[in-house]
Amino acid sequence: MSRTSRPAVEERPVTMDWSRGALAGPAAQERVRNLGQLQGLFYDVASWRQIDPAKIVYRVRWWEPVPEGTEGGLFWGTTIVEPGRVGDEYFMTHGHSHLRGNRAEIYSTISGEGSLLLSEGGGRVRLEPMTAGSMHYIRGDVAHRAANVGERPLVFVACWPSDARHDYGGIVSKGFGAHLVCRNGIPTLLGDGPNAR
């Protein structure tokens, strides 16, 4: 019988620290979004202007084990949304829809308190509470965004098809459908009419 030898410890492309949701390793990519890059998304423009544009709102670390666009492949990522508000609107991810409308996604919360906004079109926006251990199935044709409604960072993981492709422009031009604001300490959805933006 022939044997091949290989090192006992191979370098892993990425590893997950499940207690913190931290994704690390040579294959991990990172994107950081500050307030300046989220121009036009928060409805209270005057408040948005008053905050330092360099303030970090969220960071994503993700792993693409196959090239983007590969049919049948999967990507994996961790998002950390900082606590904070613009006026009374909670810090949130940009939000996007998948260009391929039959490419679903799963989110699961590691820590913090959030709200998953699911925009089904026609101004219909649904909320799912995000707390440690919560699982969220996001249909392929539903735009999605996560807001941090707590006082600590909101950390969640996501798994999505490598050929889903993200459409950010639709949300910039048409809006998300609603804004999540703090009213008397309670997360409340505000309609996204022309005057609200």
**At closest approach, how far in Å is the CB of 54 from ligand PAN?**
17
- Residue at token pair 């609200």: 196
A 10 A CB-CB count for 151 gives: 9
Chain positions 38 to 97 lying near ligand PAN, rule: CB under 6 A, are: 60, 77, 79, 93-96
Pick the closer one to Zn ion by CB: 105 or 163.
105
Pick the closer one to ligand PAN by CB: 95 or 153.
95
- Partner in contact with 112, chosen from ligand PAN, Zn ion, none, beta carbon below 5 to 8 Å by kind: none
Residues 93-112, one symbol each (x = binds Zn ion by CB under 5 A, - = not), give ------------x-------
**At closest approach, how far in Å is the CB of 89 from ligand PAN?**
16
**Structural contact between residues 106 and 93, judged by C-beta atoms closer than 8 angstroms:** no
User: What is the C-alpha to C-alpha distance for residues 11 and 158, in angstroms, rounded to an integer?
Assistant: 23
- Residue at token pair 């965004």: 145
User: What is the C-alpha to C-alpha distance for residues 51 and 64, in angstroms, rounded to an integer?
Assistant: 33
Pick the closer one to Zn ion by CB: 99 or 196.
99
Q: Cα 106 to chain center, whole Å?
A: 11
What burial letters (b/e) apply to 95-114, b meaning 16+ CB within 10 Å? bbbbeeeebbbebebbbbbb
Pick the closer one to ligand PAN by CB: 3 or 179.
179
Chain positions 149 to 188 lying near ligand PAN, rule: CB under 6 A, are: 158, 160, 164, 166
User: CA angle, 171 as apex, 47 and 20 as ends, to 5°?
Assistant: 75
- Residue at token pair 């006992």: 8
**At closest approach, how far in Å is the CB of 143 from Zn ion?**
9
**At closest approach, how far in Å is the CB of 127 from ligand PAN?**
16
Residues that bind Zn ion (CB under 5 A): 105
| Binding stretches for ligand PAN (CB under 6 A) | 60, 77, 79, 93-96, 105, 144, 146, 158, 160, 164, 166
